Every structure is written in C-alpha cells, then in structure tokens.
Amino acid sequence: MAGLFSFALLPCGCAPVTYPQENIVQALKDIALKEYGIHNIQVAFVGTTMGVFLPLDQLFSLDFKEAIMSGKVTDMENLFKPTDAAINKVEDLLFSMSRVMLSTDKKIDFYYLQATDIEKSGMELSFLGNIEDVKRVRYWDIPRSEYRKRVIHDIRLNQAALWHQPVRHFFNDLNTADKDVIQSRYFPKTALAKWAKEFFFTDPLGKVTMTGRAKWEILDLRSIPIQDNEVVVYAKVKPSSRDLKAPASPAKAREYLFQISTRGGEEKIRRIIPLAYLDDHPAGISPSFTRETVASSLPNWETEFKTPDIRMGDFLSRQLTRRLQAMLTEDERIANTFLSVKLAFNFETEPKPYFTFDAIAPLRAVKEKSYSLEKGIHEDVLYLWKLAAREFVDVLRSYEFKDYQYLEFQIDQGGALLSWEATREDLELFRRNKKDLKKILVVRK
C-alpha cells in the first residue's frame, strides 16, 4: 500500500516562517482548496500532533461492501486498491501538509492524515509520520525506502462514518431535492406542514416559501449505539438563506438527534428529534435521553475523525511492530520453526519508561517448549528475540531516543508470564556486537 503514494515528494525552499501558528489551520485549508480543489478538510491539533481529515466520496476502486457481500473476492490486494482520484488527493494533501509543517513557528512533532470514504464503504486509510523524518528525507539524510518504513499506514473500518451517512444524505436532500422527494423519502406518514416548518423557512402565516428555502451546513456529527442494530446520531447544523429576499436565517445553530436502524447491513433513519423537543419529552428515545444527559455525554460519543496524541515512545513502538512483522514474512527460519507469530512492541511509562516485546509464537514441534528449567530459552525463540532486539537498537539509535531503561521480553508459559529484561546500556553493547543477547538477558522478578 505504501508504495502507491509518493511520500518523499516533499517541497523545498520554503521561508523560515511562512505560516504563523495563528494562521496555520486556515492556511492549510486555503492551499488544499485553491491549489488542489480539495474541499471540506478538517484540521486539528492535539499536543504536538497535527491531524487532517480528508472526506472522500470513494476510497477504493471496488465497492467494498458489495464485493464482500457477494463472496466473490479473490484478490485482496485489488480489493484495497485506492482509486486514482483518491491517490491524487492524498498525495496533494500530504504535500500541502509538509509545506505548512516545514514553514511554521508552531511546534509540530507528528502529522496524521485520515482519508475516509464517507459515501460508500466507510473504510479509511490513515498515515502517521514524524516531522524530523520529513526533514531528513528532504535533505537526503535517509533514503526514500527508509522513509517509507517510518510512515505508519493503517486501513480500517470507520463505523461512525457509516452511521452518519443517512444523516449527511438527509441534509444534502434538503439542499437539493424538492419538497415532494423529501416527503416521500423521510416523512411518508407526516403531514407536510408539520415537518416543513422545521426544515424550511416560512412566511408569517406558516406557509413554506420557495425564496425562504434554507441551505444547511453540518457543523458536527457524533453517534452512540444504544442497542443491537440501533444508533443515535447527534447533528449540529446551521441553516442559512439562499436568497437575500428570504426571511433572516436563525442566528443559532440547530441540534437534532437521528435514530438510525442498522439492520440488514443498511443504515436508515427511523426518527428525527429536535434536541429542544427533549425539554418537554425526556423519554423521546429512552428515559435516559434528556437534553442534559446528551450534552454531558457528547464528548464521549463516536466521531469520524479524532487526532491522536502521539508520543515518541508510542510512535517507535508502532513503527517497530510493523518493521519486524514485514521482516519475519521473509525469514525462512521463522516460517519453518513457528506455526505463526503475532508480535507487538509497547512503550510503558510507569514506574519508569521501558519497552516490551510481546510475541505469541507457538513452535511447530509440539513437544518443544519456549522455555524450560533444564534447557532455558529455546534457541528459535532466542533467534526471534535477536531479530527484534537488532531492529530495536538500530531504529532507536537512528532517532537518538534514549528515554527508556530497558527492553522486556516475555513468554507465556502455560498461563504464567515469564519475563526477561535487557538494559539500555547492555543493548548498546549488543548493537556493537560486544555481547550476545543471551548474556545480557536478566530474569525479571
């Protein structure tokens, strides 16, 4: 997947501070829109991470949901092949992000781009990288092949994007469709006069006027599952007049709750409730849904986009996990001696900073044990650990990261967790081939 994107095609020759921190969000939006025609991106900062959300009408070439439901998927690589339009937008936005990040006075250590298919599949492709790597590849301090290894990319399903689809379609229809279409699609059993007063401007007598039709802008969407196949979506929207002759649009944004059914793999609106309605009808959805409870719980509802708060230790752990996974797929000894290998590096901060290497790796020889009092650590397990330790010390040295005490190795022996550790100082000797890994491992008590 990474090879599809030209991560290293980064700009050069920017002024020291072209984008002051107070203007950085608008600057990135302006570049995306004016130079690449990319609309509706979101930009958010958490800690020293800059996050950007790119909503797409279609991410992958195949219709993901249709392909899976048909059971005719034979080529997984082709299934996850982005469209040319998606590739272009992602690369253009990555390029725009690098321009801004390299020419601002705002402290940015990491960047995060999330490209989400909000119209079809709900699938998303995300990229996480370190700003120093951007600088190093720009000045040829590291090759492009190494830079690609340092960018962490993920593919996953964005469930909230699927839940929000019918709500997006509803407001889009309000903006484009006539009253009869809206009536048949969303209010087949409700008189026009009842719903039109809420979603269309009216004259003093309550009659809907064409000049008074509103244009709806979605400000916020959040969702929460309430039971099997039932979701509630919160929508904060702002109507504005399409015509200067129309009555003035409400100054305040409006809030709604949409009760969504997800039965049969299809999301449908069952009910639309103005949030103000809950003032007089607290049991509108369930007794627990009052205006106060909704307002207090909203920060915990699911959103389509959330910038992660990335720290260097966690970033290195995720990168090391991906690197070693890729290495092991090409290692013949690993394939011949283990049934499978599931591994993860993790970074812990308490009681003091340290890394762990956890691997579920059952040996093919059923009678062999990963560890025994008589033989100690199995030689093939030690081989796996040496590969992990070698990649660990090389990557951390490249980043000059020293804020940790030791690397811990673990074996799950019949439900009992056995642990060994190698200190940072001993790992440096291992890196320099001064000591063997087996000699620096100490049993943790």
DSSP string, 338-405: BS--EEEEEEE-SSS-EEEEEEE--BSSTT--SEETTTEE-HHHHHHHHHHHHHHHHHHHHHT----S
Percent share of the chain, pLDDT over 90: 66
Lowest mean pLDDT among 4-18, 59-73, 384-398: 4-18
Second-level CATH architecture of 162-300: Roll (3.10)
**Over 80: is that where the pLDDT of 213 sits?**
no
* pLDDT on residue 68: 54
The closest of 362, 416, 406 to 384, measured between CA atoms, is: 362
Beta bridge pairs of residue 257: 234, 273
Mean pLDDT score across all residues of the chain: 87
Write down the pLDDT at residue 283.
Answer: 55
Model confidence at 332, pLDDT cuts 50, 70, 90, reads very high
> Averaged over 325-350, what is the pLDDT?
96
Q: Tell me the average pLDDT across 192-202.
A: 76
The whole-number average pLDDT for the span 426-441 is 96
Stated pTM of the model: 0.87
- Quote the pLDDT of residue 9: 46
pLDDT tens, position by position, 82-99: 899 999 999 999 999 999
The pLDDT-based confidence of 281 (bands split at 50, 70, 90) is low
